[in-house]
Each structure stands twice: as structure tokens, then as C-alpha cells.
Amino acid sequence: MSGPLKGLRVIDAATLFAGPMAGTLLGDFGAEVIKVEHPRGDPVRNHGYQKNGINLWWKMLARNKRTVTCNMSTARGQELMRRLVETADVLIENFRPGTLERWNLDPKDLMNLNPGLVIARVTGFGQVGPYMERPGFGTLAESMSGFAAITGEVDGPPVLPPFGLADGISALALANAIQMCLYNRDARGGSGQIIDLAIIEPILSILGPQPIWYDQLGVVQERTGNRSVNNAPRNTYQTRDKHWVAISTSAHNVAERVMKLVGHPEVISEPWFETGRGRAQHGDQLDVMVGSWIGDRDLDDVVEQFEKASAAVAPVYDIADIFEDPQYKALDSITTIDDEDLGPIRMQNLMFRLSATPGAIKWGGRGIGADNKAVYGELGIDTEELAELSDLGAV
């Protein structure tokens, strides 16, 4: 099966994470994604671990993409990009505002060449405003969005995630925005359009009711560690055999089941127990009750007892645990592909399953310029001209 986006051509000219991950998501479900790199290679090729000189992060992030090189700061490189864009449905870029314009690749001009083109512009702070020209990364968005301010222990510093959280959220939002534009173009007779995505915004959007709380009540949410201000018990607890589990009681009936299970049904009749907010205000008391019960038992027993009681619990996993978990195995969440450089490799599978057009991982990230000959050949550029472009530093 080729996926629901078969026939869609995407030019991924973005670097690092948010834009390229959106391209990966589209490629997973059948889009033809052409990854355009500077001839020196995408920065991700130098991020993280390598094996036998092969970057492993690149294998995941650039999967399902044909890779070509193009130096867009050169006149011949700009000509190549215009020719590529004429054949495309989508262009993804994450250069600072004004960069494409400086390279004679103004989005308005590109859309004159290809009126149906969707141009996805990803920056840290957007295309307008006093910060528009600042360099922007996901870490800055995690800081400025309010995420870091509410993450960490009560008396500790703000905590940043050890992975690209804001970038990943932005990638999901961008893939969605691209498909909205394509639907408007193809199903409603619309034209191409430009998407302006600032990485500081999608993560702000998922942080819940903080803005309306502040607007209406002046409430500024503070750090609460693993606890929630909305319900309790909700925390991580250590088992007798030194494993950790997390529990959640967002639903009132689940909170009742947990307290009955841990031997404290008497608290259920307390007036404060009736609301999640009331339970959260008694988090210390509930944590002692739940933590003592869990601390007297091994992990397997805790999980078994919670499952019997229909109460929500999960072990705190690292990646080694994920590889061995039977539920992840049943879902094939970590799947194996045959890589041209490394042989069998395992990575995250597609995010979801579609019954009729499920998509697939066809290959891992390829070498620099691996598809120059094929892709540029489709534009009528022969081997001799390609060699000339290489000599000029355009590819």
C-alpha cells in the first residue's frame, strides 16, 4: 500500500527538526518527499550518535525522503530550486524571515510560478513582530511558552525537556496545516497559500487553560512536580523492587477505586474528595496512603492489582523497557527496516494505523546527494550539466 498521500510532492528544504519532521510525517503516508540539503549536508547529520560513520538520527528523520543537494545562495542553485518548486505541491522551509527573498526565491514569486503551491514557513517567532529576526529553536519555545515555568519540582528550577518537544509539536501542527491547505486547494477549488508557523505557538496551544485562568482570575500556574492541580492522587511512586510507576485519577470513579485498593476507602466519604481540585489540595495525605501501599509491593504485583481494580497505572519505562514491552510489540510501535548502510535497524513506526491506506517506511535516511542524478534528471538535467553544477558549487 502506498498511503493516502500518494501523488503529493513535497520539497523539504528545512533544517534540524520541526520542518523536517513534518516532511517525515507526510512521507510516512505516501507523499514523495525530496529533501534538499546544502552540499555540506544537513546539520542533523552531525547530531547525536553514529555507527560506522553513519548518523543514526538522520536515518529516522530523513526516512522515506529522496535526498538532493542545492546551494540556494548561488544563482544556479536558485534556478534549480525554482524548477523543483514548479513540480511540487508543497515547499517546507525554516530560514529566517527575509532569507528566501534575499536568495531571489520570494514566496510570492514562487507562487506565481506555481499557483497551487503551499509554502510552509517555520520559524521560531513567526514572520512578523519584534522577535521575527531572532534565531529560534525549540528550547526557546519551551522556555517562552510557559512549559518550563510549570515543569519541575516546587522548590527547584524550571525544567526543559531532554528532547525536541516544541519541535515535535510544531511538526504535528505543520503537517496538519499543510493538509488543510491542500484540502482547500483540491476539494474546494482554492489556490496555494503560505503557512506562517511560529514554534512558540503550537506548544502554547496545548498547555491547557492557563491563558483563560490568568485572563479571568489572575491565576499564574506554578510548578507542582509530578502532581496536578486538577486531581489527586497523581504522582510517581517507587515499588519495593525499586521500579517506578505513575498513576492518574482524572476520573472520579478511578480515584475511588485506587483508594479502595490501597486500603483507605474512608477518604471517599470526605467532602473534599468529591472534586479533583479538592483531592489535589489533599495531595500530601493521598500520596502517603498510595505510596505506602505501592512501596510494600513489587512492580508486577502492583500492576496486576491495579488492573484487577480497573485503576490506571503504568510503569515508568526507559527505551530498553519499551523494546521489550508486549503492548508495544503487538502494535509494532518499534519496527524493523532493512537499511542500505546498516542492514536491519529499528526505529519508531508510523504514529497511527489507517485501515485502507496505512503508509509505510520504505527506507531510512540516505546519503548526501544520493538522488541528485535521479531527481534532477527528471527535470531534464543530464550527467554533464550536473557535473557542471557541482563544479560551480550549486549542488
Domains assigned to the chain: 9-206+353-391 (3.40.50.10540), 235-321 (3.30.1540.10)
pLDDT at 1 over 80: no
Kindly state the average pLDDT of the residues 287-304. Answer: 98
Kindly state the average pLDDT of the residues 102-128. Answer: 97
Kindly state the average pLDDT of the residues 380-391. Answer: 97
d(CA 60, CA 57): 5
C-alpha cell at 342: 546498516
pLDDT at 346 over 80: yes
d(CA 64, CA 315): 33
CA 8 to chain CA mean position, Å: 21
**Chain mean pLDDT for the chain:** 97
CB-CB neighbours of 251 under 10 Å: 13
Percent of the residues in the chain that have a pLDDT greater than 70, as a whole number: 100
Q: Tell me, what's the pLDDT at 367?
A: 97
**54-55 and 313-315 strand pairing:** unpaired
Active site residues: 167
Q: Tell me, what's the pLDDT at 2?
A: 78
63 in Cβ contact with 24 (< 8 Å): yes
pLDDT tens string 5-46: 999 999 999 999 999 999 999 999 999 999 999 999 999 999
Kindly state the average pLDDT of the residues 81-110. Answer: 97
